[in-house]
Structure formats: C-alpha cells, structure tokens
Amino acid sequence: MSSHANRPRRRTAPDIRARKGGEPIVALTSYHAHTARLADPHVDMLLVGDSLGMVLYGHGSTIPVTLEQMITHGQVVASATRQALVVIDMPFGAYEESPQQAFRNAARVLKETGAAAVKLEGGERMAETIRFLTERGVPVMAHIGLTPQLVNTLGGFKVQGRDPAQWAAIEADAAAVAEAGAFCVVLEAIAEPLAKRITAQCPIPTIGIGASAACDGQILVMEDMLGLNPRPPRFVKEYASLASEIERAIAAYAGDVRARAFPAAEHTYETKKRD
Ligand code: KIV
C-alpha cells in the first residue's frame, strides 16, 4: 500500500471554488512553521499574506514586501502543512506591469514554494492578468474592496462601499474577476449590504475580512485573532490574548533567571555515571 494512503488530501483551488453557497470556507493567514502546523487541520486555506510586511517585519504598509520574502515564507508554510490549500500573496510591484510579468513571478512562486495558488489585488483593472494566469495553470484568488497595496493612492486604509454611489464599481470588480477565472475573491472592509449583494450575484466564493457574515467564507490575520496586535481593526474578533500571556511568560522567565530558579536540575545535563 502506498505510504500516502492515510494522508488527508490537500485542498485544491477547484475544491474551494466548488464550495460556493455551501459550508463556510475557513481561512487564516500564516507565515511560519509552528502556527501553520497548528492551523492546518482546522482550516481550508492558509494565505501567506503580504500583511507579513506589517506583522512580522514591522513596516507601516505592505509596499516594501519583496517577492523573495513571499517565497521564503511560502516555502515554510507549504512544507509545514498537508491539508490546507496554501495561497501566496503577490507583493506590490510583482504583477501590475503586465500579464507576462505576473505569470513569470507567479510561476516562480509556485515552483519554489510548493503552494498551489496566488492572490493578487485588483478587480476590473487586473482581469486581463487573472485570465492570463488561470489559462496558464496558475489558480488566482482575487482581492477587491480595500486593497492595501493602494494605500498611497487611496490615502489610507478605508472601508469601501459605505456610500451606495461606490457600489456599482465594486460589483463590477467582483463580476470581472469571476469572469476572468479567479477561484474565489477576498472582500476586504466592505459594508455589509454591498457584501451581501456581491455574494448573491458572484458565481465564485467570497471570502470576507471585515465584510460581514454574508460572505461564503472568512479570513483573518492569525496574529490579530490571537490577540497579538496592539491596535486590531474593528472587524477582528480576538479568540485569545496571547500578548498578555507572552508578556506574563517572559516576565516569569526573567524573574526566575534573576533569582537563579532557572535552570533547575531537570533542565541541566549531568556527567556520565561511572560503574
Ligand atoms: O495580506 C493579507 O494578509 C491579506 C488578507 C488580509 C486577506 O491580504
């Protein structure tokens, strides 16, 4: 019998696409091995998001993130997991120039990480690129609404679709990425009535982040939902308070070291016993 017989099958982009209107799709971001391994049995997708630029590297936006960083963290998450579909974010500057540039870099991402899909930001303006990639074997998760890589042209991170005058453009974005072949679309920071309309109209699953329970699935930044972000966005629910837990543990360690209570006998190597 094959050694793969008992391994759970890894989810694919078509599996996610087929979940439209069905059981909610569960997704989280992930950038490193320990947390990827813990999340893998519980989620459908792990996104190596370019949010790592802010969360791991401390930048003020995702703009400085490089393709090499995405590939490094993508390799880590793909090799630490067995079940979840691993999706890698295309960073700013790696895909906007032309469909050919996007394909060259996306092909590198898939070859070098072992992940099976990429994500890129943009609706109608990226439709030609999404079609070019999907027709050539690169599954694409689209991302519309608040697109953080446009922070400098938008002038900040702003909720989209609060004014119904904005709705037609965002609905057209959703329709364009679905028509171009994206297997699902992230709706970020979109007012609930609009997220509901898009989810009802769009033939591919919508994955919400700050876009209400109307979406076909949800994604959060893992560090946000674990309580590590000192200023989490309003749409985050914290399922743990790791910041205070980590601080408590570090203070306890520091106290033990200063009191010579750590290391104790069980943490210490002895010499070999002679007969
Ligand atoms: O970079 C990221 O983590 C993302 C999610 C917030 C969807 O794009």
Confidence of residue 1 (pLDDT cuts 50, 70, 90): very low
Q: 60, 54 in Cβ contact below 8 A?
A: yes
In a domain? residue 256: no
pLDDT on residue 174: 98
Residue 140 CB burial class (10 angstroms; 0-12, 13-18, ≥19): buried
Q: Which residues are marked as active site?
A: 188
The residue whose CA has the least distance to atom 8 of ligand 1 is 49
pLDDT at 248 over 70: yes
For residue 173, give the amino acid letter.
D
Atom of ligand 1 nearest to the CA of 55: 3
Q: How many domains does the chain have?
A: 1
**What domain range includes position 91?**
13-241
In a domain? residue 270: no
In a domain? residue 274: no
The pLDDT tens digits for 62-120 are: 999 999 999 999 999 999 999 999 999 999 999 999 999 999 999 999 999 999 999 99
Best of 73, 188, 215, 236 to mutate for ligand 1, by most ligand atoms within 8 A of CB? 188
Q: Which residues line ligand 1 (CB under 6 A)?
A: 29, 47, 49-51, 89, 143, 186, 209, 219, 221
In a domain? residue 65: yes
The structure tokens listed for 48 are 């190596």
In a domain? residue 268: no
For residue 78, give the amino acid letter.
A
In a domain? residue 275: no
The CATH code of the domain that includes 94 is: 3.20.20.60
* Alpha carbon of 251 to ligand 1 centroid (Å): 32
In a domain? residue 264: no
Percent of the chain with pLDDT over 90: 90
DSSP code per residue over 83-115: SSEEEEEPPTTSSSS-HHHHHHHHHHHHHHH--
Burial 11-36 (b: 16+ CB within 10 A, else e): bebeebbebbeeeebbbbbbbeeebb
Q: What is the mean pLDDT of residues 211-226?
A: 98
The pLDDT tens digits for 119-159 are: 999 999 999 999 999 999 999 999 999 999 999 988 878 88
The pLDDT tens digits for 6-64 are: 668 999 999 999 999 999 999 999 999 999 999 999 999 999 999 999 999 999 999 99
In a domain? residue 120: yes
